[in-house]
Amino acid sequence: MKSLVKKLVEIVGPSGYESKIRDVVRTEIKGLGNEQRVDAMGNLIVRMGEKKKDGLRIMLSAHIDEIGIMVTHVDKNGFARFTTIGAVRPHTCFGSRVRFLNGAAGVIGGERLDNPGNVHNFEQMYIDTGASSDAESPVKIGDVAAFDRPFEDLGNRLISKAMDDRVCAAVLIETMRGLKNSPHELFFVFSTQEEVGLRGATTAAYGIDPDLGIAVDVTGTGDTPRSVKMDVSLGKGPAIKIRDGGMLADPRLVDAMVTCAQKNNLPYQLEILLGGTTDAKAMQITRAGMPAGCLSIPTRYIHSPSEMVDSRDLENAVQLLKSLLSEPIVLA
């Protein structure tokens, strides 16, 4: 999966500007499914199979947007001020390189601080594109960018910007490629604008009206020095979510995932994330509501320019999803 992950993570596609990454995903899944379409929110939706007597109408969602920045002002010396798209954190920005949709590059700098031990806030930062005047600037108000970091292969561990959530798009693509038979009618959704409020998944779920919703997203870990107290580690398998900051996973789906993993001798972890949420929240409360849950990829340094995952967790997530979707899912 490494070549696929590399291809997906290096595309620039902040929330609301996912067309380039959507086109790449569409190329990767060409010929798969009964139907492919793009809805009004820009979600790529792929329908696979037909619902059998013991099957369900299932929506699986992985978002393809990433956090980013947007230019709000360019001063007379060519320095661009910016606002954030999604949960960008100030301490990850200073000195980071960014890449704009138009190809322009820049580095984030900051005003001199009275106390050098402090962290710049966004009002004190700017983007230096190398321009010496506003007329020379390659960017203007409203232009958007994402962090610019190349994919790095460290063996089992992989590093890049936008692992959140492009690795999960890769998981869905590989699941689609490897799934031979299913009693379910499946809707694979590559959703938009998750980082700014789960917007794509909300409208997609409304249109699909599934019986069951499964998000595939990243989650934090508790395996680094002085980290949060969290029983999730890189390399120990995908994490089956029990709850997060926005939802309680349906316990019947949690049990079904755990049983499937145990039956197929697949490694898994149980996840409780105290902050943040996923597309599963949007699915759970759309229309009259539905059972929903999430399969998570353990990830270090989330919402930074250099997020880290373990390729074995990705591969085991694919195997778990293929096994889960190949049989009836009993929600009794």
Q: Decide: 189 and 37 in contact? Cβ < 8 Å.
A: no
Q: Which residue has the tokens 């009964």?
A: 34
- Check if 194 is active-site: yes
Q: What is the distance between the alpha carbons of residues 145 and 293, in angstroms, rounded to a whole number? A: 31
For 150, other C-beta atoms within 10 Å of its C-beta total 11
- Which DSSP string do the residues of 100-157 spell out, in sequence order? ETTS-EEEEEEPPPSSTTSPPPGGGEEEE-S-SSTTT-S--TT-EEEE----EE-SSE
Pick the catalytic residue: 194, 195, 271, 307?
Answer: 194
From residue 141, give the alpha-carbon distance in Å to each of 19, 128, 300. 20, 14, 33
Q: What is the distance between the alpha carbons of residues 201 and 136, in angstroms, rounded to a whole number? A: 40
Q: Decide: 280 and 213 in contact? Cβ < 8 Å.
A: yes
Q: Which residue has the tokens 């595939």?
A: 216
Dig out the tokens for 207 from the structure: 């249109």
Residue 27 CB burial class (10 angstroms; 0-12, 13-18, ≥19): exposed
Residues tagged active-site: 194
